[in-house]
Amino acid sequence: MKSLLLVVAMAAQMDAATMKAGFARVNITPKSPIYLSGYAARTKPSEGVLQPIWAKALAIQDTKGAKTVIVTTDLIGLSRMVTDMVAARVAKEFSIDRSRLVFNASHTHSGPMVGGNLQALFDLKPEDEKVIDAYTKVLTENLYQAVSAALSDLAPAVLSVGHGSADFGFNRRMNKGSATHIDNPKGPMDKDVPVIRVTTPDGKLRGVLFGYACHNTTLGGDLYQVNGDYAGFAQSEFESAHPGATAMFMILCGADQNPNPRGKVEQAMQYGKQLADAVSKVIDGKMDSIAGPVQAAYNVTQLTFKAHDRELYEKDLKDKLRAKVRRAELMLKLYDERRPIRSTPYPVQALRFGKVLTMVTLGGEVVVDYDLRIKKEFPGEHIIVAGYSNDVMCYIPSVRVLKEGGYEAVDSMIYYGQPGPFDENVEETVMNGVYGVMKRVGRKPAKQ
């Protein structure tokens, strides 16, 4: 029996060793002042750079030759306008199917505005809009270049997966008006730090992909310097501790999670170090080998909004909140054009690495309830559930959050230029999308 187990283990290691991986990065730091996204209170463009921001790519070629690329960015979010354009070019140039290309934005609130995202956040001047449009055009090219360079860097590699934890993120919906967000310790959270390690066949570290479910909002709207917040500091901290290795951060389902306490650069650096240390601890410990093949599935479903009419937005035109007025103007324009928004496209994706690891990527700002539910319903393998992937069109509340109301369910839609809250079928629709892609990669939910 021991001999058989040894043979199986050796076979798994040999299979893993025949995989290939490649890394690349492109500096996407704005070269001139630009409005930073995330906080409506900002009143002017950026003023310098606290830390460079990056687009990074991890390309993986499995044991059957299929290529998959994961792209991470130090940005507030990417729209389908951008990701679909890059994906189409990648498909044409490299014959990589859309299902095998992931885009994730760290959701730093100290990064530049990107076209198609949070369109009602500011009253922008024409010159500001031109700067954002120009940046978005360059960014689209940069994303493609990152993918291309990672594919050119493919070399034999061994991939492994493990988990650590970090404790600076708290469910912000616990807050009942105090300065902190720890009033109710029963609020849902996930402290998991999943880590994918990539080494050469002889064990030299090439890079890591790691995640955490927490908003990148350590720094507030009073800061006008470009940076990646705690996620940016975590990546640079890890790379300083492991020269020559690439660190990539993927934000998970952290839409209702905030760092605590927050507001200072020193705190962002502290959380970055805590996260980097957690990743280092994982890669120095026992990890499970990832073998191929990599199966992939991608689908775009539709999330429907609660019914609305012109009268609602005509009233909003007189509101004191400028963002509400901007949203009303946008909605009324669409009514005039006889194409009011009733639903939004919603991307759902799954990548399964052998029978060891499944990665689920969801569009939008996804609350932690989805992460916890998917993990519960699909046990038995390592699983990573990421939000902010492929398109960030608005917040994605669970039924619980939707019924409770508040910022994630209602008010946030104003800044995203969406008509209002979702129908109560939102969680069911998202989960049906998850079931669909999971079925296509060979995963079945556990019987409840």
Q: Domain check: are 175 and 316 in the same one? A: no
Task: Tell me whether residue 407 is in a domain.
Answer: no
The SS3 call for residue 82 is helix
Q: Domain check: are 318 and 243 in the same one? A: no
Q: Domain check: are 233 and 260 in the same one? A: yes
- 71 near 149, Cβ under 8 Å? no
Residue 261: how many CB atoms within 10 A of its CB?
14
Residue 405: how many CB atoms within 10 A of its CB?
12
The SS3 call for residue 311 is helix
Number of separate domains in the chain? 2
Q: Domain check: are 289 and 197 in the same one? A: yes
- Mean model confidence pLDDT for the chain: 93
pLDDT at 2: 45
Q: Domain check: are 267 and 332 in the same one? A: no
Task: Tell me whether residue 428 is in a domain.
Answer: no
Distance CA 3, CA 363 (A): 46
Distance CA 278, CA 280 (A): 5
Q: Domain check: are 109 and 153 in the same one? A: yes
Q: Domain check: are 176 and 146 in the same one? A: yes
Q: How confident is the model over 144-166, as a mean pLDDT? A: 98
Distance CA 419, CA 428 (A): 20
E strands in 219-364:
246-251, 257-259, 288-290, 294-304, 343-353, 357-362
pLDDT digit string, tens, across residues 289-307? 998 899 999 999 999 999 9
What domain range includes position 88?
2-294+349-391
Task: Tell me whether residue 440 is in a domain.
Answer: no
Task: Tell me whether residue 426 is in a domain.
Answer: no
Task: Tell me whether residue 442 is in a domain.
Answer: no
pLDDT digit string, tens, across residues 309-333? 999 999 999 999 999 999 999 999 9
Q: Domain check: are 75 and 37 in the same one? A: yes
pLDDT digit string, tens, across residues 5-19? 444 444 444 444 489
Q: Domain check: are 273 and 331 in the same one? A: no
Task: Tell me whether residue 400 is in a domain.
Answer: no
Q: Domain check: are 176 and 320 in the same one? A: no
What pTM did the predictor assign?
0.94
Q: Domain check: are 315 and 229 in the same one? A: no
C-alpha separations of 290 from 9, 126, 160, 187 in Å: 12, 50, 5, 33
20 pLDDT tier (thresholds 50, 70, 90): very high
Q: Domain check: are 235 and 165 in the same one? A: yes
